[in-house]
Each structure stands twice: as structure tokens, then as C-alpha cells.
Amino acid sequence: MTHRAGIAGFGLVVAFLATSSSPVLAELASLGDDALSDVSGQGGIYLSGDVSINEMGGPVENYHFGRCDDATRKCGARLAWRLKETGGWMVLDDIRGNFSFEGLTLRVRHVDSGFGGDGELFNRDVLELGLPNTVRFNDVHFKIAASNTARPTDPGFLQTDIFTVEMRGEVVMEGNLLVFPTGNP
């Protein structure tokens, strides 16, 4: 008796599922695999950017930081990382300036031709990052240094500046960067 009730119960569930799903199928026509394969990711991202880092010296202003017009003080962001548990710190210091670009694109692209015959063998999708042709640097500075403490405000701070790089003007950067997973188990 209980079993029959159980079977009847399942029958109802099936009937309910069938009726509830049929209106949806009637309104939307499903795409076949062929039709789907014609739909490519036409959408992409087009980015223009203007990035300023610490142009005015940053939020902290004390005896060490925060004034770009004072040569005795540091101005700009600082990134420090350690290579050994008890060792000193590698530092990317004094990062500041402004860079802007127009037309950085991002899209998914299927490669199956070109590249001197490699494209045909490859025949896969890649993530394509279209470089913006020119990037305008406006007084971009950074400094590679090594220091014994993470912060210049820590006691006993010593730092050796290895070199400083300064860039201004339009940097030509043309082409596409293609990114894809590679098999190497």
C-alpha cells in the first residue's frame, strides 16, 4: 500500500516536471551546436586609462615622507619584500608619476591560421590583450634599492639605492599579447 503510494507520488512529480518545463521550451527555440558555433565572442573590452601614483607625495607627511619638492624627503610609493626569513628587504621605492594610454583591448580570439603555419596546428582560443600602441609617461620614477628594514621609519634604517629609472614621453608599445593555458603535467 505504501509502495503504491510512493509510485503514484513519483508519477505526479514526473508529470509536474513535464508540464512545468514545456511552456519554456515552447517560447525559446534552442540553438543547435552549428548555430552556436557561429556565435563568437564579439564583445570585448576597450580600455583607456590615466593612472597617477603619488604625484603630490602621498597621504603621509612626516620628517621622512610626503614632500616631492623637498629633496631630503621621500615622495612616492614604496614596495618592500624579503628574500630570506631573517634577511633584509628588496625595495621598489619612490614610485610616482602618471601614465596614460588609450585603446587597450581585451577579447577572446580563436586562432586557427597565420603565425607561419603555427596557427593551424594550434587551433584554439586565446585571450588577446591588444597593446595600446603608445603609452604616455609623465615623469614616471621608480628606484630599485635594498634596505635592512621594511620601512624607513623603523629604527636603524639603512638603504642602498641601486638605481633610479625616470621616464617621460610616448613609449611605443605595439602588438597583441596572447595568453593561453599550456599543458605541462
Partner 1 sequence: MSSQSITASILRARLLVGVLALVAVPAAAELKGLSEGEMARIDGAGLGLVFENFKFSHGTDAPDANGEQARIFRISGIKSTDGRDVDITVNHLYISGAGSNYGENLSPVNLGRLTNPWEIDVVDGNTIGVPDKAVLQFSAPSQVAAAEGYDCFGASASAGTGTCSSRPATADYIGERADIGIQMNVAVGDDRSANINIHAKSAVIDGSYLRLWGDDNRRQMVGQFKLNFYSPEVSINACAQDGSSCGSRIILSNFALELALGNELQPMLFDVDGSGNFVVEIAAIRQPTSGEIGADGLRSSSNAESWDFYNSYYTNPDYRSNLSIGNFSVADRDFGSARVQGMLIQHLNIQTKDLSQ
Residues interacting with partner 1, by CB under 8 A?
3-4, 6-7, 10-11, 13-14, 17-18, 21, 30, 33, 36, 82-90, 111, 115-116, 118-119, 121-122, 126, 131, 143, 145-148, 158-185
Find the angle CA(37)-CA(38)-CA(44) to the nearest 5 degrees: 100
Strand 77-82 to 45-53 pairing: unpaired
In the complex, minimum distance from the CB of residue 154 to partner 1, in angstroms, rounded to a whole number: 12
Whichever of 2 and 59 has its CB closer to partner 1, that residue is 2
Burial class (CB in 10 A: 0-12, 13-18, 19+), 91: buried
CA 141 to chain centroid, in Å, comes to 22
In the complex, minimum distance from the CB of residue 141 to partner 1, in angstroms, rounded to a whole number: 10
In the complex, minimum distance from the CB of residue 74 to partner 1, in angstroms, rounded to a whole number: 14
Question: How many CB atoms sit inside 10 A of residue 94's CB?
Answer: 20
Whichever of 61 and 158 has its CB closer to partner 1, that residue is 158
In the complex, minimum distance from the CB of residue 59 to partner 1, in angstroms, rounded to a whole number: 25
